[in-house]
């Protein structure tokens, strides 16, 4: 039954598409169903429609013979992914309270600086970063999500694989650490 429903739907789609492009004229006389092949659909019987008619309609969308293949689409890189790359470039930079780069950072300064490199202006403090953007659950973290810890007093950037890049405290450089190494408070997506 599913096959018959599929065939009816395919027939209707082909006929409607062909009629829309003016490629098929349908006479009032009954026609025998001829099996036709539709790329991506398969072979179906469509009364009154020939393979040549389908090919002429579909040919309007096919590249010319010998034409170069279309260029592959460039991958889309999100602002969050750009922010992660920027933060990774600062691994090992010193922690300095109140600093927002480019050579030293506190936690929210690193987040703000990394996102600025990605073209977004985020709030300066960890509390404001925890209140902006869109809330996301820990189970749905994506590269670049801003994670808040310790009730919002600390922030970092989700780097994937359960890790966060953050400027932790005096005497510790910017580093990669497991998200689970600190008390998770929430996450925001920008």
Token pair of 141 as six digits: 């973290």
- Is 10 catalytic? The answer is no
**11, 82, 90, 154: which is the annotated catalytic residue?**
154
Least confident range from 66-75, 95-104, 157-166: namely: 66-75
The domain in which residue 134 lies consists of 79-189
Do both 100 and 21 map to the same domain?
Answer: no
Least confident range from 7-16, 41-50, 160-169: namely: 7-16
Do both 115 and 172 map to the same domain?
Answer: yes
Do both 102 and 36 map to the same domain?
Answer: no
Q: List, for residues 116-149, the tens digit of each pLDDT value.
A: 999 999 999 999 999 999 999 999 999 999 999 9
- Is the pLDDT confidence value at 73 over 60? yes
Token pair of 130 as six digits: 């925890």
Token pair of 41 as six digits: 């659909």
- How much is the pLDDT for 66? 74
For residue 23, the Cα-to-chain-centroid distance in whole angstroms is 38
Into how many domains does the chain fold? 2
For 126, list phi and psi in degrees, rounded to 5: -60, -35
For 175, list phi and psi in degrees, rounded to 5: -145, 170
Residue 98 lies in a domain: yes
- Is 166 catalytic? The answer is yes
Q: Which of 6, 16, 17, 15 is nearest to 43 (CA)?
A: 6
Do both 149 and 117 map to the same domain?
Answer: yes
- Is residue 102 reached through a cis peptide bond, with omega within 30 degrees of 0 on the bond before it? yes
Count CA atoms within 13 Å of residue 112 on its CB side.
23
Do both 113 and 177 map to the same domain?
Answer: yes
CA distance 73 to 151: 42
Do both 53 and 124 map to the same domain?
Answer: no
Q: How confident is the model at residue 33 (pLDDT cuts 50, 70, 90)?
A: low
**107, 111, 164, 174: which is the annotated catalytic residue?**
107
Do both 101 and 23 map to the same domain?
Answer: no
Do both 183 and 152 map to the same domain?
Answer: yes
**82, 90, 166, 188: which is the annotated catalytic residue?**
166
- Is 168 catalytic? The answer is no
- Is the pLDDT confidence value at 10 over 60? no
Mean pLDDT of the chain: 83
- How much is the pLDDT for 164? 98
């Amino acid at each position: 039954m599913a096959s018959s429903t599929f065939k009816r739907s395919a027939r209707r789609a082909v006929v409607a598409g062909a009629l829309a492009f003016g490629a098929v004229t349908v006479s009032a006389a009954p026609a025998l169903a001829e099996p036709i092949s539709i790329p991506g659909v398969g072979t179906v019987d469509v009364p009154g429609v020939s393979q040549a008619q389908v090919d002429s309609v579909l040919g309007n969308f096919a590249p010319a013979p010998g034409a170069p293949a279309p260029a592959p689409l460039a991958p889309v890189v999100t602002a969050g992914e750009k922010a992660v790359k920027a933060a990774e470039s600062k691994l090992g930079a010193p922690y300095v309270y109140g600093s927002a780069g480019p050579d030293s950072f506190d936690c929210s300064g690193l987040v703000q600086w990394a996102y600025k490199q990605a073209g977004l202006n985020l709030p300066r403090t960890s509390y404001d970063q925890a209140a902006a953007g869109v809330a996301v659950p820990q189970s749905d973290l994506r590269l670049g999500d801003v994670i808040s810890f310790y009730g919002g007093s600390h922030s970092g950037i989700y780097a994937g694989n359960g890790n966060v890049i953050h400027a932790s405290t005096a005497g510790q450089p910017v580093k990669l650490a497991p998200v689970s190494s600190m008390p998770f408070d929430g996450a925001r997506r920008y």
